[in-house]
Structure 1
């Protein structure tokens, strides 16, 4: 039994940094052709393009805001043009902020909801014509969805919403042979390291004694993208070290 994604065609939103970048590189290195999108030009985008070129395969980086219907349409059209079809859609793009609920402006509530829930709605709906039986839709949620955390009520609400969206779509799209699941990371250390005191606090809470890495999340995404998970549907898989 071996995890191979050779011949798979994937779309990953928000793939230039952090967990998204780990997912893009993980899928590409497992043999998939990957289209990913980013919001703003940066050195991270340039370096990712370089890494993907060195990896080999048919990969594309597209500038797109997943909360904008017109830009999502253009992104999906790029997938159709460059890949022809899709086997995997990974929803990673999202935003976060830390605001006391009593002071949370309606504009900030809407921004987070439109990106973290509206983006997955738009991308999934528009990408459906490119997905056929055996396809896998993967939402990147968060462990906080079932725990809650102060100052992130808006963010937590959107991640909890992804669980409900997943359960409904698993039942609605299952008859078409499509699987829909959530990967819910716990504390993950990316290219922007957590402050020492935060890292130490989480290490004490996590039985494995460390924070997660983008690669830890990418491995579970690759499993859900592969045929090894062909009977896994409607699930939330926590990747949190047992916190």
Structure 2
């Protein structure tokens, strides 16, 4: 039970308006956390918040944020700090993917992906760190992908592999402030993000290959990932840090299939 002496914890979720972000937001609110839904699409974030069932006194806030822009990240943290006075959980879920091969990638698109997918989470944590120092605790949950071990589109895989390295580095640096830093590596998840740039037939071929390579013989769901996020954000995971948890039915054991 939340009391005046025990303020409700505040979770900040980036990429909140997508299928995965929405599921994570719903789960964290169900767990009793106050919620900040950050996304480029402010209207979609606010629509999500309007749909949530909140407990008495539970607060939410939608903020437009561009994780590729340092000024936008600074403004996001300042807004959350002014509204809530604390930030307990950061879920780095926002991502972009300009698919290409090593033969034809666009350097500008590569740089955009690195800015949003890798530099953005680092900058966000840098700017939230003073809150964690003051509070003496915190949680960081980075969304990577099983492709960091299996390969795939080079720029996207490089970002996600880099985010794994960042997870481990931040786990060491933030540990003195009782902050845990972990990553979740989902399997193939049907969503607008994974469908973008693919027609239905090519996605079905990819999904079929993924299921064949998955011991549990199905695709991931947003709720699968949200459940693991809930665990890592909870007190039950207080002694878990620097881990990459694969939520992909065992498909991390198989090679990547396009």
- What RMSD, in angstroms, separates the aligned Cα atoms of the two structures? 1.7
Question: Partner of 1:227 in structure 2?
Answer: 235
1:140 aligns with 2:143: yes
SS at match of 2:114: helix
Aligned to 1:86: 87
Higher relative contact order (CA 8 A, sep 6+): 1
CA distance in 2, matches of 1:210, 1:133: 40
CA 1:17–1:99 in 2, change beyond 3 Å: closer, same or farther?
same
In structure 1, runs of 5+ residues without a counterpart are: 1-5
- Cα offsets for 1:131-177 (capped at 9, x unmatched): 2323111111111011101xx10010010001111111111111111
The answer (yes or no) to whether the contact 2:17–2:41 under 8 Å persists in 1 is no
Residue 215 of structure 2 is matched in structure 1 by 207
Instruction: Using the TM superposition, give the Cα deviation of residue 21 of structure 1 relative to its aligned residue in structure 2, in angstroms.
Output: 1.4
State the alpha-carbon separation in 1 of the partners of residues 166 and 61 from structure 2: 28
- Give 1:10-159 correspondences, 5 Å limit: 10-41=11-42, 44-52=44-52, 54-56=53-55, 57-131=58-132, 132-149=135-152, 152-159=153-160
* SS of 2:97 mapped into structure 1: coil
The answer to whether the aligner puts 1:241 opposite 2:249 as a matched pair is yes
Q: Does 1:185 align with 2:193?
A: no
The whole-number CA distance in structure 1 between the counterparts of 2:192 and 2:103 is 32
Distance 1:133 1:242 in 2: 35
After TM superposition, where is structure 1 displaced by more than 4 Å over at least 4 residues in a row? 191-194
Equivalent position of 1:196 in the other structure: 204
| Cα distance in 2 between the residues matched to 1:45 and 1:177 | 30
Native 8 Å contact 1:89 1:138 kept in 2: yes
Task: Compute the displacement of 1:207 (Å).
Answer: 1.5
